Amino acid sequence: MPGDEFSRLRGEIYLSYVPGDPEGLRALVRGLSRPRAEADPVLEGMVLLRAASLRPGAAAPDEALERLPHLGRNPLLDRCVADALRGREGAEEGLRRRADQPDGERAAFACAGSAGLTPFDAGRTAAALSPDRDPETLVDVLGYAAASGFRELSPRIRGLLTRPLPWGVLEEARAALADLEESPPGPSGSAPPPASGGAASLTQTLFHGDPTRPGRGSSGGVGTLVREFGAALTDLGLGVLSLVGYDSRECAYPYVARESAGSGGPIRRVPVYLSSPAPAGFSGASGRIARSVLRALRSEPARPGILHVRFLDDASRASALAARILGIPLAVTLTPDPHRSVCGPDGRIRGRSGEELRDLVNRIWIGDDLLAWARGVLAIGRNTLSETLIRYYPQLEDTRGRVFAGVDEGVRISVPAPDLDVPALLGDPRRDLGLDPAAVGRPALLSVGRLGAVKGQANLVRAWASRGLWMRYNLVLVGGDLENPSSEERLVRDEIRESVPRECLGRICHLPALPNEAVRALLRWFSARRPREGFDVYVCPSLKEEFGLSILEAMAEGLPVCAPLAGGPSTYIRNGVNGFLVDTRDAESLGRELRAALERCGQDPARVERIKREARRTVEERYSLDAMAREYADFYRRAIGTEVEK
C-alpha cells in the first residue's frame, strides 16, 4: 500500500475493523503513541465512549454511566460522554447525583444540555441560577433552562440581567429569554426553519477570527477569503450567510450581532463563552457552540440549503451537530492535516504522548465524523482528493450519496487600491519598530499574516538577523492587533521584539493588520519599485500552509515569493520558475535557504523579472477568485440536490 506509515495504518484499521470497534480505536492510539509510553486513562476512556456512541441502542451505555461521577474533570471526556448519551435513556439519576456534588453542578447541566436530556426540573434549575454561581455554571444552566422550555424561569432570568455579571453571562441570559418567549412550551423542538425559496443558500461558519478584522487575533487569510468569496458567490446568485464565532468571555473587540459584508452577504456573530482562547477552548465549549449555532439557524427567516464547515476542530463538529438536528445538509472541507503531519520526513510515525496525543486522536476522529455526516466533501487543491486524502481517509472509497470536488483556492486578480504613502507608513517615527527613513529605499523582505506561533514570524526575524540578511535587506512584517493583542498575539509580538538585535533597529518595520485593499496596495508598491541593489521578496515563514492565500496575493501583484515546502504551496510553485520553496521548520533552515535563494537571483535581474511574470501568470490562469467561486457554486448546488443513500 503506497504512502507513509500512518496512511498504511489507517488503511489496515479500515480493512480490519468495523467502525466503532474499540479494538480498532485502540489500534489507532497505539500506532500514534510514543514507544513504551504509559497507558493513558483519558485516551482509554475516549476509546470506550466513542465505541459506545457509535453502537446503536436506546439505553444509556454503561461506559457513559460509569463516567458520570467524573464529569467536569476533562473536557474531551465530557464531550465524549455527551455523545454517548445523546438521545438515550437511563442517565438522569446519575446526572442528578453529579449535580449535587460540590464540583459537579456545571458539568452535569452542561452534559445534559449537550446530550438533549432533561434530568433536572424547573426547581432544581432555578436553584442553579443563583447569581453567586460562577460565570460558566450560569452560562450552562441558562442554556439548559432554555433548551428545556422552562418558561416559568423567565422572571428569575430577568433578575440576572440586573446583576453586575460578566457580559457573556448577560448575553446568554438575553438569548435564553428570547428562546423561552419565542418558542412553544416544553423542550425546544428540532423542527427546521422554514424552507427557503428561490436560489439555494449557503451558511458558512468561521470560529477562527473575524472576517471584518483580517490579520488580527486568529483571523488570517480564511477570514478575508470568507468575505470576498461570499461576494463572488452572491454575484453567481447563491445567497450567503456567515456565522462568526465571538468569544463572549474575552470580548476582545466590540460586539455587533449582525452586519453587512458588502456584497458578500450578512455576517452574524455567534456569542460563545469559551473557557480558554480559541481553538483550545472549543472542546470544553462544544455544547455551547452547538446551542449558539442552533439559535442562529433557527432564527433566520429562511432555512439554509447547506452548512459548510472548514476545520477539523470541536467548533466545526458542534456546528455540524446543529445542522444535523435541523436536517440541514453538511459540506465539509477535508485537508491532509493533521494526518499528513503525523509522520516525519522519513515517512515514519512520530510517536506522541499526553495532551499532544489526545488532541491528535480527537482531531482524527472529528475528521471521520464530519466525513460520515457530510453530503458534500471538498478538498483544497484540484488533485488532493485522489492523490493525498484517499491515503488518510480510506472510507472515501465509498462515494454513495455524496458529492465530491477538489478546487484550487483563488484570490482577486485586480483590486482597487487606496492611495497609500508607503514610505511614510514604513518610516513613521511613532512605531516601536519602524524603518529609518533614509533606509526605506533598500530592498526588503515582506511578510503578511496574523500573529501566531505556526506563522513563523519570530523565526523569520531570527533568520534575517543571524544570517546577515539585515545588512542588505529591510524586513517588513504586517499583521496582528498591536495595540490590543490577544494572548497569542502578545506572545509572538514580544518574541519578535526580543529577537531584534540593537544593530538591526531601523531596518525592521512591524505594521499592524491592514485592510486587504491596503495590503494589496503595499504589495503593489513593492512590486513596482526597483531598488538600486537587489530586489523585493515576499516571504511566508509559516511552518506549513494549507494553501497560502497571502502567497497567491503577492504573486498576483508580481512579487517573487519564498514559500514553505510543507503544505499546499508546492502544488502551484515551481521552484526557481515562479517562486521559491524553502524549508521553514526553524530559523536556521529558513535563514540558510532564504540566503541561497536571494544569492541565486541577486546577480541576474532578468531572471527576477521572469519569475515575477510567471508568478502573476500562474495566478491569472489558475487561481482567480471568480474561477474558484464558479466551482464552489456548482459543488454546493450539486450537494443540495443530492439525496443521501441511507
Count Cβ atoms within 10 A of the Cβ of residue 192 and give its class: 0-12 exposed, 13-18 middle, 19 or more buried: middle
Whether 370 is covered by a domain: the verdict is yes
Residue 230 counted as domain residue: yes
Residue 368 has pLDDT above 90, yes or no: yes
Q: In terms of domains, do 263 and 207 share one?
A: yes
* pLDDT mean over 309-333: 95
Is 207 a member of any domain?
yes
Does residue 246 contact residue 258 with C-beta atoms inside 8 Å? Answer: no
pLDDT greater at residue 3 or residue 312 = 312
Asked if residue 481 and residue 360 are part of one domain, the reply reads no
Phi-psi region at 20: left, alpha or beta (left = phi > 0; alpha = psi -120 to 50): left
| Count: domains in the chain | 3
Confidence of residue 216 (pLDDT cuts 50, 70, 90): low
pLDDT of residue 193: 45
613 and 486 together in one domain: yes
Q: What is the pLDDT of residue 177?
A: 96
| Same-domain pairing of 369 and 408 | yes
Helices (DSSP H) in 485-624: which residue ranges? 487-498, 516-528, 549-556, 587-602, 605-622
β strands within 111-222, DSSP E: 201-206
- The CATH number given to whatever domain includes residue 583 is 3.40.50.2000
Among 28-42, 80-94, 236-250, 403-417, the range of highest mean pLDDT: 80-94
Q: Is residue 187 part of a domain?
A: no
Q: Which residue, of 182, 214, 241, is where some domain finishes? A: 182
Question: Do 399 and 442 fall into the same domain?
Answer: no
- Beta-carbon count within 10 A of 282 CB: 27
Q: Tell me the residue range of the domain where 600 lies.
A: 422-623
CATH of the domain at 75: 1.25.10
Mean pLDDT score across all residues of the chain = 90
Q: Is residue 522 part of a domain?
A: yes
The per-residue pLDDT for 424 is: 94
Q: Is residue 191 part of a domain?
A: no
CA neighbours closer than 13 Å in the CB half-sphere of residue 57: 15
Q: Does a structural domain hold residue 192?
A: no
- Has residue 188 got a pLDDT over 80? no
Q: Which long-range contacts (CB under 8 A, 24 or more apart) does 129-137 make?
A: 129/153, 129/156, 129/157, 129/160, 131/159, 131/160, 131/163, 131/165, 133/105, 133/106, 134/106, 135/165, 135/166, 135/168, 135/169, 135/249, 135/273, 136/106, 136/273, 136/275, 137/105, 137/106, 137/109
Pick from 96-100, 342-346, 455-459: least confident: 342-346
Q: What is the pLDDT of residues 494-527, one digit of tens each?
A: 999 999 999 999 999 999 999 888 999 999 999 9
Quick check: 569 pLDDT over 80? Answer: yes
Question: How confident is the model at residue 339, as a pLDDT?
Answer: 87
Q: Residue 195 falls within a domain, yes or no?
A: no
| Predicted local distance difference test score (pLDDT) of residue 217 | 60
In the chain, pLDDT over 70 holds for what percent of residues? 94
Say yes or no: 176 and 215 in one domain.
Answer: no
CA distance 587 to 591: 6
Residues 227 and 143 in one domain: no
What pLDDT was estimated at residue 641? 84
Instruction: Indicate if 247 and 178 belong to the same structural domain.
Output: no
Does 261 lie in the same domain as 397? yes
Q: Which of 50, 106, 117, 108 is nearest to 83 (CA)?
A: 50
**Residue 431 and residue 403 share a domain:** no
Kindly state whether residues 401 and 434 are assigned to the same domain. Answer: no
Question: Do 328 and 430 have their domain in common?
Answer: no
